[in-house]
Amino acid sequence: MPGLSWLTAKPIAHRGLHDAATGIIENTASAFTAAIAGGFSIETDVQISADGEAMVHHDDALGRLTDGSAPLAHMSAAALKTVTFKASKDRILTLSELCDLVRGRVPLVIELKSRFDGDMRLANRVAAVLETYSGPAAVMSFDPAPIAHLRNVAPDLTRGIVAERHYDHEEWAGLSAGEKFRLAHLLHAPQTRPQFIAYGVKDLPAAAPWIARNLFGLPLLTWTVRSEVDRATAARHADQAIFEGVPP
């Protein structure tokens, strides 16, 4: 797509360039600094805090990588910023702090985490933060609703859809078979009008992303590229890889 060459110009470090073995934990300042040093774009995740702040964190609750066990949505941004990671001195960042760290040096690809509950607070907060950010940035989500919302309230913000073919993981247990089919085949496109697609590498090639890329000219990212087989698939079927470990 014209004007989005920055989105596919560099391999995209999944949750930053992290390596737990060396104490660089995903979605931390250390991982983002390493990605910048390597010249890679950054993919990251944001969750909503109790007071409506966009927090840089993949899981919707503490515990896997951090001390504590509370849902992020039950804690204030100030409280979340004091949470320590188990294997690092890093602390949870706000999206504003991430933008201040990156300062436009590499592109940001930001996934809006969602519980498919119609809550648009996170989408609104991300749009507000990025409105004053001068660097290249895009937002994406598995949930079409916030992307359709952003199409209306922030039409100049680059937006995309994350998708896969089967939705077998337990996190998708609340979705009906019909909704999974709609998501896998991008049938929400008339409402969301995504400007790029991020599709699971294990599911490529697939009809929906092929059509989006080859007939509609949308950039196709693929995730999460971790192996030589994944890298070969990404090189053949996508425009850029969201990777962990050795870059494409």
User: Per the domain annotation, does 209 fall within a domain?
Assistant: yes
Cα dihedral sign, 120-126-128-131:
negative
User: Per the domain annotation, does 237 fall within a domain?
Assistant: yes
pLDDT in tens, 167-211: 998 999 999 999 999 999 999 999 999 999 999 999 999 999 999
pLDDT in tens, 61-120: 999 999 999 999 999 999 999 998 998 999 999 999 999 999 999 999 999 999 999 999
Give the strand pairing for 196-200 and 137-141.
Answer: unpaired
Give the strand pairing for 54-56 and 41-48.
Answer: antiparallel
User: Per the domain annotation, does 39 fall within a domain?
Assistant: yes
User: Per the domain annotation, does 100 fall within a domain?
Assistant: yes
Confidence of residue 1 (pLDDT cuts 50, 70, 90): low
Confidence of residue 248 (pLDDT cuts 50, 70, 90): confident
> What single-letter amino acid sits at 5?
S
CATH of the domain at 155: 3.20.20.190
> Taking Cα atoms as reference points, which of 159, 162, 157 lies closest to residue 128?
157
User: Per the domain annotation, does 248 fall within a domain?
Assistant: no
For residue 163, what are the domain limits? 5-243
Bridge partners (DSSP) listed for residue 109: 43, 138
Distance between CA 199 and CA 206 in Å, rounded?
9
User: Per the domain annotation, does 171 fall within a domain?
Assistant: yes
Tally the domains of the chain.
1
Q: Look up the pTM and report it.
A: 0.97
User: Per the domain annotation, does 230 fall within a domain?
Assistant: yes
